Structure 1
Amino acid sequence: MDEVKNQGSDNVKRFLKKFFIICTLLTTLLYVYHGWWRSDSYTTFGHVKNNGSLTILLWHWPFVQSYVLEGDVCWDLFHIPHCKLVDDRSYFSSADIVVFHNRELIQGRQKLPTDLLRPEGQRWAWMSLESPAHNGNLKPFANIFNMTISYRRDADVTIPYGELLPKEEETPLPEDITVNKSSLVCWVVSNYMRHHKRTQVYKELSAVVPVQVYGRWTGKPLSSSDLLPTISRCFFYLAFENSLAKDYITEKLWKNSYEAGAVPVVLGPSIQDYKAVAPPHSFIHVNEFASVRELGEYLQELAKDKKRYAEYFNWKQWWKVKLYVDWRERLCNICSQNSTLQYKKTYSDLEAWDKKV
């Protein structure tokens, strides 16, 4: 009798063991399938959204330049998962984040949907890639936005004009980096304004060294196909920003200089801001010199020394430039950075944040 009881007890134990193993396997499969392992599940104003998926509604396209949003755009184009990007306003009641581009708001071409019932936990994001000098009056937007999307490194979501990515393997540099270079300094400018700091520096520099100028201002515009080949024939490129503002570093550095293969002479934010994002010893900052004349003399000397000049390109052996030009990719990156965001947040003085130095 005891033997029968023991056998029955063993059968129960084996059954429970098998049952536990099966349950564990099923739970693991569900866990992986639904993406519960991902770190981008988030808390919205105290409520946890366990599936890690975000719906981002773009209220209006920047500069009326729209893109197709068919299918799973963020995953299909940029391999960013669990991110639904839409521009159909019927999604307003279910969107997690609604993005508003500043230019259309300050020009009055678009309005905030303050007349609609804003869903609990929904975040409104203010987006601008312009410098504070061109963002207009932001005082009416006090206590409205929960997020900032900007080139600024201290924005809630940072979308730079470009960044560095490591190469899969080291790439050797050409033996002579100066081959085919025929102009000492060149500059492409269309928005030429007398009061700009860059205009003053250009005038002083052109009195010391020859500067080849292209763009609408001089009546010599360059097509997109001619831009980089033209700059590639220059030793130095004037990557002068039209505004001097924190972190404001545009395609003038990333594309016009680095991609073309000219050493950038930069004028914009502080040297520290450039060092935070650019390769070491890859640019020349105007503020490094006591005068513009000294800068010009340095450029002349450097162009004659092939070895020293080539050192400004050493970074290209290990790094490559990634440009951000597609608004869809910029918006999908909200999902990539979502897990690091603060959710119980409102900008009581958006203008003060924008003008912060």
Structure 2
Amino acid sequence: MYFQILFIVIYYHRQEKIYNINKKNSVNKINQNNLIIYKKKPSNTNKPLILIWKYGKSLENRHINRFDNLKRYSPFDNCSVECDMTYDSSRIEQSDAVLFHLHKMTRLDAIEVSFLSKTKRRNNKQLWVFLTDESPLHTKIWPEYKNLFNWSMTYRSNSDVPVPYGRTIPKKYNPSMTNKSISKNINNKKKLVAIMGSNCSTKNSKRWLYVRNILNILSKLNDTNNQLNIIGNCLNGNKKLCPGHFKKDCKYLNDYKFYLSFENSNCDEYLTEKIYWNAYDKYSVPIIMGPTKENCRNLLPPYSYIHVNDFNTENDLINYIIYLNNNYDKYIEYHLWRYYYDVVNEHGYFGSSSKHYCHLCQAIISNDKTKTKVYNNIEEFLNKNQCVY
């Protein structure tokens, strides 16, 4: 009883903190319903036009089709506003905003765009927005980007248009929800921990070395109940269990109490579907490597995750999760956040909706475009120094 009272006090304090973080952004002010907080409700009924420059078609698979080849979804489903979209570059003069996907752009693209910015085809009120969902370690910055872009659109909360992979949304406490309603989702979990991935890159060299050490330590225990299962191409993992797993949901993750949410880059606020979908959505506890502990405190529900930086060695981490595995009451404490928060997936993977175009449309409509800034050097914003190699 004492723990539950203390837990409620802590959670109400954390609700206010996370809510304030989510609504502080300069352009995309998000309320608890995940919608724009308008200073004044827009009276203009004309829909802004967004040009997705050059690579709009290749982005459809994730942001419109949701990796479903048989369906197309409106990017403005359940959105508070609606914009028109085009891939036709001849309409650039009529466009209110032009979106450039940095991860797709080549050096020749950058040269072309730089030339385009110097011609009469760009009007003064038009917004040029750069988009990247990748960390700075995986985003190429070309010198031609200097003085090109007005807005940033990334997973980080200090972006002009934040488009994180997921959001933590406070909710009203529901007294009808009991530990039993949580228990029914975790009682069938008979396996300890899993990781899924096929990017075996050494850019985050610590990631797979850490996984290998966990694998070796657990295998020496000769305990079938306490093992690490690897799904994917790395470290001789199971390649057949969930092929194409970034497109289709991997139902086997429902069997695990813990999930190694190890990102491919250890960068500020880089929290991906590995946390929001592979762990939280599966009622697994994420064990996080990548974003800092402070990032996690600010952006995730409290007492909902385990961070590797809290442990001196892999062996210390293993001892702790085995302890939780053997103590049900302690393990379920990592799920009590579900009384007070919802975690919303917005990345477009596994059939979830992508909110990228919705949030850009909201930002265009709700902000004064006559006071437009310019990024003199976007490398200062996408600085690799925010990452730990």
Shorter chain as denominator, the TM-score bin is 0.7 to 0.9
Moved more, 272-281 or 190-199: 190-199
Determine if the alignment matches structure 1 residue 346 to structure 2 residue 340: no
User: Secondary structure in 1 aligned to 2:193?
Assistant: strand
User: What is residue 185 of structure 1 aligned with on the other side?
Assistant: 193
Determine if the alignment matches structure 1 residue 252 to structure 2 residue 256: no
What's the offset of the Cα at 1:332? 2.0
Residues 62 and 300 from structure 1, CA distance in 2 versus in 1: closer, same or farther, beyond 3 angstroms? farther
User: What is residue 113 of structure 2 aligned with on the other side?
Assistant: 112
Correspondence for 1:211 among 228, 241, 255: 228
Determine if the alignment matches structure 1 residue 220 to structure 2 residue 240: yes
Correspondence for 2:256 among 234, 239, 250: 234
- Quick one: distance in 2 between partners of 1:181 and 1:74? 35
Checking the alignment, whether the CA contact within 8 Å between 1:246 and 1:270 is kept in structure 2 is: yes
Q: How much is the aligned-residue C-alpha RMSD, in angstroms? A: 2.9
Q: Which has the higher contact order (CA 8 A, sep 6+)?
A: 2
Q: Which runs of 5+ in 1 are unaligned?
A: 1-36, 42-48
Q: Which runs of 5+ in 2 are unaligned?
A: 1-37, 66-72, 219-226
User: What is residue 130 of structure 1 aligned with on the other side?
Assistant: 134
- Quick one: distance in 2 between partners of 1:276 and 1:353? 20
Checking the alignment, whether the CA contact within 8 Å between 1:73 and 1:84 is kept in structure 2 is: no
Question: Deviation per CA, 1:278-310, whole angstroms, max 9, x where unpaired?
Answer: 100000000011222111111111111101100
Question: Deviation per CA, 1:7-48, whole angstroms, max 9, x where unpaired?
Answer: xxxxxxxxxxxxxxxxxxxxxxxxxxxxxx97265xxxxxxx
State the AA in 2 paired with 1:80. Answer: S
Residues 193 and 221 from structure 1, CA distance in 2 versus in 1: closer, same or farther, beyond 3 angstroms? farther
Question: Deviation per CA, 1:74-131, whole angstroms, max 9, x where unpaired?
Answer: 65x2333253333232321121111010122136568427334211221111100001
Residues 323 and 95 from structure 1, CA distance in 2 versus in 1: closer, same or farther, beyond 3 angstroms? same
Residues 135 and 233 from structure 1, CA distance in 2 versus in 1: closer, same or farther, beyond 3 angstroms? same
- Quick one: distance in 2 between partners of 1:295 and 1:128? 33
| Correspondence 1:188-199 to 2 at 5 A | 188-194=196-202, 196-199=205-208
- Quick one: distance in 1 between partners of 2:240 and 2:162? 34
State the AA in 1 paired with 2:126. Answer: Q
User: Secondary structure in 1 aligned to 2:301?
Assistant: coil
Residues 277 and 315 from structure 1, CA distance in 2 versus in 1: closer, same or farther, beyond 3 angstroms? same
Aligned length: 310
User: What is residue 264 of structure 1 aligned with on the other side?
Assistant: 286
User: What is residue 61 of structure 1 aligned with on the other side?
Assistant: 55
Residues 118 and 352 from structure 1, CA distance in 2 versus in 1: closer, same or farther, beyond 3 angstroms? same
State the AA in 1 paired with 2:201. Answer: M
Determine if the alignment matches structure 1 residue 307 to structure 2 residue 334: no
| Correspondence 1:33-182 to 2 at 5 A | 39=40, 41=42, 53-61=47-55, 64-66=58-60, 67=64, 73=74, 77-81=77-81, 83-106=83-106, 108=108, 111-112=112-113, 114-115=115-116, 116=119, 117-166=121-170, 170=174, 171-172=177-178, 173-175=181-183, 178-182=186-190
Moved more, 226-235 or 165-174: 165-174
What's the offset of the Cα at 1:337? 3.2
User: Secondary structure in 1 aligned to 2:361?
Assistant: helix
Residues 127 and 226 from structure 1, CA distance in 2 versus in 1: closer, same or farther, beyond 3 angstroms? closer
What's the offset of the Cα at 1:311? 0.8
Question: Deviation per CA, 1:332-356, whole angstroms, max 9, x where unpaired?
Answer: 2113234357733111111121016
What TM-score, normalized to structure 1?
A: 0.77
Correspondence for 1:284 among 300, 306, 316: 306
User: What is residue 23 of structure 2 aligned with on the other side?
Assistant: none
- Quick one: distance in 1 between partners of 2:155 and 2:346? 11
